[in-house]
Amino acid sequence: MPISFRFRLIPFIASLLLISLGIALAQWQTNRAQVKESLAAQLTERQQMPALALNAQTLPEQILPFRKLQLTGQLIREWPLYVDNRPLQGKAGLYVLMPFKLAGSSKYVLIARGWHPRNGRDRMQMPDVPVPAGQIVLQGMMRDKLDRVMQLGQAEIVKPGSLLQNVDVEALAKQTGWDFYPFVLEQTSVFEDGLLRDWPQPSLGADKHRGYAFQWYALALMAFLFFVVTGIRRGKN
């Protein structure tokens, strides 16, 4: 039984469009993956840099996300804040935050001090975390902001002891009248305060984009195979 191929214009145009679309979107996703891999390498390089002493002479362009910073000053114990819905290793918990006033400066930094489990009996009872007294030296990792969760309802007014779903440094600055740097510092210094500082690493999603690229390439291949298979004709000698 001879096999021949029947060319049909409309299936050819449809297949060509799908193939072109699949390849174009696959290349776009591949480019995005390469950009994020480059960014991940850059962030890793910053994390390995020595800690930058933050003071009034520090230039803004030196304060980079995921760079280690060293601060000298005092924690404001009267202003604890708690960020809810932050599970760790399968346990419900929250982040404990506190403003930090830099020595010899009017500037403040919001410190994410660490993680604490929720009270199993009374979820509204906040942990009483020890606060180092006087002037201290503290190190941490600079973050533009903490990872956000879905905000349910209106964000409440920030006040000492607030339990928040997300934290907004700008709103905190307006509420307190203090001059905050526009970032959060994830503390890495170890204090005897019962807090865990196993901070989540950034996920830039390069693997996700490569997965999407594979799917688009598969679509282009399927469109080509569909055109070929539907064009094959079998007939008698």
pLDDT digit string, tens, across residues 54-78: 988 888 888 888 889 999 999 999 9
Are 183 and 212 found together in one domain? no
Q: How far apart are CA 157 and CA 171, in angstroms?
A: 8
pTM for the full predicted model: 0.71
Q: Which domain holds residue 29?
A: 3-43+205-234
Are 181 and 87 found together in one domain? yes
Are 151 and 218 found together in one domain? no
- E strands, the chain, in order: 3-5, 52-53, 68-75, 81-83, 93-102, 107-117, 136-143, 163-164, 179-187, 232-234
List C-alpha distances in Å: 28 to 21, 24, 40, 109. Answer: 11, 6, 18, 39
Per the domain annotation, does 214 fall within a domain?
yes
Q: Read off the pLDDT of residues 175-234 as tens digits, 9 standing for 90 and up.
A: 899 999 999 999 999 898 989 998 877 666 677 888 888 898 898 888 888 888 877 765
Are 84 and 180 found together in one domain? yes
Are 152 and 110 found together in one domain? yes
